[in-house]
Amino acid sequence: MKPLHLNTPLLRAAPGLFPQAEVWLKMDALQPSSSFKLRGVGRLVQQAAADGAREIVCASGGNAGLAAVFAARSLGLPVTIVLPNSSSTAVAETIAVRGASVLRHGAVWDEAHLFAVQLAAERGAAYVHPFDHPLLWDGHATLIDEVVATGLEFDAVITAVGGGGLFAGIVQGLRRNGLEQVPVIAVETLGADSLSQSLAAGEAVTLPAITSIATSLGARRVADEALRLAQSHPTVSLTVSDSDATQACVRFADAMRVMVEPACGAALAALSVHEAQLARFKRPLIEVCGGIAVSTASLATWTIHA
């Protein structure tokens, strides 16, 4: 199957944006769905269509939902997206205008997910999980394939972590390209740090609530596969504050002329917030995962509160 996602640009970061002199950016904010999610979600929707699905259902904080809409509509399938109440009205409107039926259920993604699974079963529709499926991880791994194909030699990959699907895909991509030794810097915002807390506890931890502004990172429990990989692959788990993440979004917009949401800002903030800990990496690669929970108005607000 021809993939629905793009081979996105690999750019060198503007001078002065990060403490390191050489930082590379995989620009998945430029995907048609505005985030990396299309890589894996597109793969899942294509497989569902090949298996005879006549409708797609997805529970999402926003980005997986938009990717599911893009993929489903590209294949001529109707699609319903279930959003938790934590997702903004602007996100809901963005998804709806692309041709989806949008429903609201639950305070957080976990509750929206349970409702959406039941809804899909009742309708005989295919449920597309936003972060916990082998085909999804395989789709996300293509970002590493693309970077390796350019010949760039990087010594770390920095990524935001929500439910863990992107992290799992990155590790899979490294391993299938013979880069098992390259560490992954897994970054979360405080209040959405299920992976960090799980690694500290040595077992999966379910957060009592999501209190971070980065609602796209708002899975209360990270996927079991992501935790397993974080325990077996060289991984540095870090956290940043909401303020760190939003200010990184502002700096990135100024330097690179691209808007990203706070979930992505978490990864962008890591090199500055944890400068001493990450100084040993001389050519890190940042997955600029993108996201639709950003606007010129929100960037202005984050600037004012800097």
Domain with 54 in it: what CATH number?
3.40.50.1100
pLDDT category at 224 given cuts 50, 70, 90 is very high
pLDDT exceeds 80 at position 305? no
Contact 70, 33 (CB under 8 A): yes
**Does 3 fall in a domain?**
no
**Does 55 fall in a domain?**
yes
Residue after which a domain boundary falls, among 78, 98, 127: 127
| Same domain (yes/no): 263, 290 | yes
| Same domain (yes/no): 147, 275 | yes
**Does 5 fall in a domain?**
no
Tokens of residue 78, six digits = 């109707």
| Same domain (yes/no): 140, 177 | yes
**Does 4 fall in a domain?**
no
| β-bridge partners, 268 | none
What average pLDDT does the segment 284-306 reach? 91
| Same domain (yes/no): 81, 210 | no
Domain that holds residue 53: 37-127
| Same domain (yes/no): 227, 243 | yes
pLDDT category at 278 given cuts 50, 70, 90 is very high
| Same domain (yes/no): 191, 102 | no
CA atoms of 216 and 62, how far apart (whole Å): 7
Contact 60, 218 (CB under 8 A): no
Residue whose pair of structure tokens reads 């997986």 in the numeric block = 64
**At 170, is the secondary structure helix, strand, or coil?**
helix
The answer to whether the pTM exceeds 0.85 is: yes
pLDDT exceeds 90 at position 86? no
Q: Indicate the number of domains in the chain.
A: 2
Tokens of residue 137, six digits = 């991880």
| β-bridge partners, 187 | 160, 238
pLDDT category at 306 given cuts 50, 70, 90 is low
| Same domain (yes/no): 197, 287 | yes
What average pLDDT does the segment 191-196 reach? 94
pLDDT tens per residue across span 225-263: 999 999 999 999 999 999 999 999 999 999 999 999 999
Best CA proximity match to 66, nearest among 91, 85, 84, 103 = 91
**Does 244 fall in a domain?**
yes
Residue after which a domain boundary falls, among 127, 143, 161: 127
| Same domain (yes/no): 271, 282 | yes
| Same domain (yes/no): 69, 172 | no
CA atoms of 5 and 214, how far apart (whole Å): 24
| Same domain (yes/no): 261, 119 | no
Tokens of residue 142, six digits = 């293509």
**Does 24 fall in a domain?**
yes
pLDDT exceeds 80 at position 216? no
**Does 220 fall in a domain?**
yes
| Same domain (yes/no): 157, 193 | yes
| Same domain (yes/no): 104, 144 | no
